[in-house]
């Protein structure tokens, strides 16, 4: 669908978006797992829904290999892993405050 406005030609240009691609959004398989776990439930409160989401995600926080199995071994996931490892190394190296860094769930 294209929306146009009279008198606006030349001011607004149309940009082509690529089609949906899970390769460019590797978190999609994880959200599919969460949706299967918590979808179609009428939650009484927001806290109950957050608890349900936590329950669905906890196995992935505990076992990183489960995340990798969903994301796969692609150029994007390898890049993210390298970036995150460098970021974690930097945080530990420059943690002069003496604060304990939280790197896990629980």
pLDDT score of 41: 92
- Classify residue 101: in a domain, yes or no: no
- Classify residue 26: in a domain, yes or no: yes
- Classify residue 34: in a domain, yes or no: yes
Domain count for the chain: 1
Dihedral of CA 80/82/86/91: which sign?
A: positive
pLDDT score of 99: 62
- Classify residue 75: in a domain, yes or no: yes
- Classify residue 33: in a domain, yes or no: yes
| Helices 46-62, 64-71: inter-axial angle, 10-degree rounding | 90
- Classify residue 41: in a domain, yes or no: yes
Q: Which domain holds residue 32?
A: 22-93
Tell me the pLDDT of the chain (106 aa) as tens digits: 444 455 555 666 666 666 666 666 767 788 888 889 898 899 999 999 999 998 988 888 777 778 777 777 778 778 877 887 888 788 777 776 666 655 554 4
CA dist., res. 29 & res. 102, Å (int): 26
Give pTM, 2 decimals: 0.48
- Classify residue 39: in a domain, yes or no: yes
């Amino acid at each position: 669908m294209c929306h146009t406005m009279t008198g606006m030609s030349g001011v607004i240009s149309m940009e082509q978006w690529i089609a949906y691609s899970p390769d460019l959004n590797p978190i999609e398989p994880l959200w599919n797992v969460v949706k299967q776990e918590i979808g179609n439930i009428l939650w009484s409160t927001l806290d109950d829904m957050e608890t349900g989401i936590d329950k669905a995600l906890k196995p992935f926080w505990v076992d990183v290999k489960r995340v990798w199995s969903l994301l796969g071994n692609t150029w994007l996931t390898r890049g993210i892993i390298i970036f995150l490892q460098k970021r974690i190394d930097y945080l530990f190296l420059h943690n002069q405050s003496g604060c304990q860094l939280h790197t896990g769930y629980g």
